[in-house]
Amino acid sequence: MFEVQEINAEHKDLIHDVAYDFYGQRMATCSSDQYVKVWDQNNDGKWSLSSSWKAHSGSVWKVTWAHPEFGQVLATCSFDRTAAVWEEIVGENPGPGERGTRYWVRRTNLVDSRTSVTDVKFGPKTQGLILATCSADGIIRIYEAPDVMNLSQWTLQHEVQCKPSCSCLSWNPSFSKIHPPMLAVGCDDTSAATGGKVFIYEFSENSRRWTKIETISSITEPVHDLAFSPNLGRSYHVLAIATKDVRILNLTPVNDNNSIQSGITKLDVQTAAQFEDHLSTVWRVCWNITGTILASSGDDGYVRMFKMNYINSWKSVAALKAGLPTPPISQTARYIKLGAISQPREVPWH
């Protein structure tokens, strides 16, 4: 039997993002109270607050972990127009009773944006220690740490103009050498009634530039989140999108003469699934480690899960809501709440 554990995050405002580390044993949260909090899970499965600090002078929109190969490193972004990189260190000169005390240090503050920085993501570890941000001014910025032992030194490698407003981004995590570095970017601009709101960018080794290779014209509603699925040997990419519903797209590279000569990949975009189960705006999508189950959350207060079966058809398999029984969507899957983070009151989204 699982024990239900209530976690009081002690944030004073709406929690905007929750991120697990690579091993799933640490959790970071951020909110409009300008604080970031880190939680550790013990051997009994209990979560405890290990660190809490004021990270920005505005609402903190996103928090993300770097690969543990680079240490215990976090990145955050905020309404205050900055992104920051944080590293956990052990106190060198602890006082009485403070031996081995761990605390988080701001290693760098990225201040290139003139508007709210809406998302931040570390790139795949095969690319080194790189960081991508997007902001409300529609610019994607990609930074690199030349020396992974000195996280105070970051260089701005690329600036890519995307759209009037960027809301989210996702790195393609493919480890295949035949797949160049790829980014998906979502737009939440509501001023333009038409036009695609999801863009795919690819890095060309020949030109050393990021190039837009695809606009997903079927997505015309504001996009709040998107996520590439982990790629375990597939020849195509799977992208999940949170908009007015949940979309799952298959992106298949087309190897024709034109793409080979130009050095720019062309994609065959197919909608693999579309779910309106939330009956409301969808805010987050997240994959499991194997890319076989997709979780989404929406304004209906539910976390819903979708899974692909053996004939490559996506089905809704579960719905979870704190304090309420799970609806009988599927007899083959059962999920039990392990914890919750309280949200005392809500504030508008960025």
Count Cβ atoms below 10 Å from residue 19 Cβ, excluding itself.
18
Q: Do 170 and 201 fall within a single domain?
A: yes
Q: What is the pLDDT of residue 347?
A: 43
Q: How far apart are the first and last CA of the chain?
A: 40
Q: Do 247 and 265 fall within a single domain?
A: yes
Q: Do 297 and 180 fall within a single domain?
A: yes
Q: Is residue 321 part of a domain?
A: no
Q: Is residue 42 part of a domain?
A: yes
Q: What is the pLDDT of residue 330?
A: 44
Q: Is residue 196 part of a domain?
A: yes
177: tokens are 């050498």
Question: Residue 65's closest CA among 129, 153, 142, 160?
Answer: 129
Q: Do 2 and 79 fall within a single domain?
A: yes
For residue 171, give the DSSP letter: E
Q: Do 203 and 81 fall within a single domain?
A: no
Q: How many domains does the chain have?
A: 2
Q: What is the pLDDT of residue 68?
A: 95
103: tokens are 């605390």
Q: Is residue 331 part of a domain?
A: no
Q: Do 151 and 6 fall within a single domain?
A: yes
Q: Is residue 314 part of a domain?
A: no
Q: What is the pLDDT of residue 3?
A: 43
Write phi, then psi, for 342 (nearest 5 degrees): -70, 150
Write phi, then psi, for 222 (nearest 5 degrees): -55, 135
Q: Do 60 and 204 fall within a single domain?
A: no
Q: Is residue 322 part of a domain?
A: no
What is the C-alpha to C-alpha distance for residues 305 and 142, in angstroms, rounded to an integer?
A: 32
**For tokens 């607050």, what's the residue?**
49
Q: Do 13 and 138 fall within a single domain?
A: yes
pLDDT in tens, 132-185: 999 999 999 999 999 999 999 999 999 999 878 999 999 998 766 667 899 999
The β-bridge relationship of strands 5-7 and 339-341 is: parallel
Q: Do 117 and 228 fall within a single domain?
A: no
Q: Is residue 77 part of a domain?
A: yes
**pTM (2 decimals)?**
0.86
What is the C-alpha to C-alpha distance for residues 190 and 317, in angstroms, rounded to an integer?
A: 32
Q: Do 141 and 9 fall within a single domain?
A: yes
Q: Which residues of 210-249 are buried (b: 16+ CB within 10 A; e: fewer)?
A: bbebbebeebbebbbbbbbbbbeeeebbbbbbbbbbbbbb
**For tokens 């030349």, what's the residue?**
146
224 contacts 190 by C-beta, under 8 angstroms:
no
180: tokens are 């160049």
Query: What residue ranges of the chain have pLDDT lower than 50?
Result: 1-4, 94, 325-326, 328-336, 341-350
Q: What is the pLDDT of residue 192?
A: 58
Task: Tell me the residue range of the domain where 175 lies.
Answer: 162-308
What is the C-alpha to C-alpha distance for residues 169 and 319, in angstroms, rounded to an integer?
A: 26
Q: What is the pLDDT of residue 335?
A: 46
Q: Do 28 and 152 fall within a single domain?
A: yes
Secondary structure of residue 120 in the 3-state scheme: strand
Secondary structure of residue 69 in the 3-state scheme: helix
Handedness of CA 346, 347, 348, 349 (dihedral sign): negative
Count Cβ atoms below 10 Å from residue 310 Cβ, excluding itself.
5
Give the up-direction half-sphere exposure of residue 105: CA atoms within 13 A in the CB hemisphere: 13
Q: Is residue 34 part of a domain?
A: yes
Q: Do 43 and 31 fall within a single domain?
A: yes
What CATH number should be reported for the domain holding residue 86?
2.130.10.10
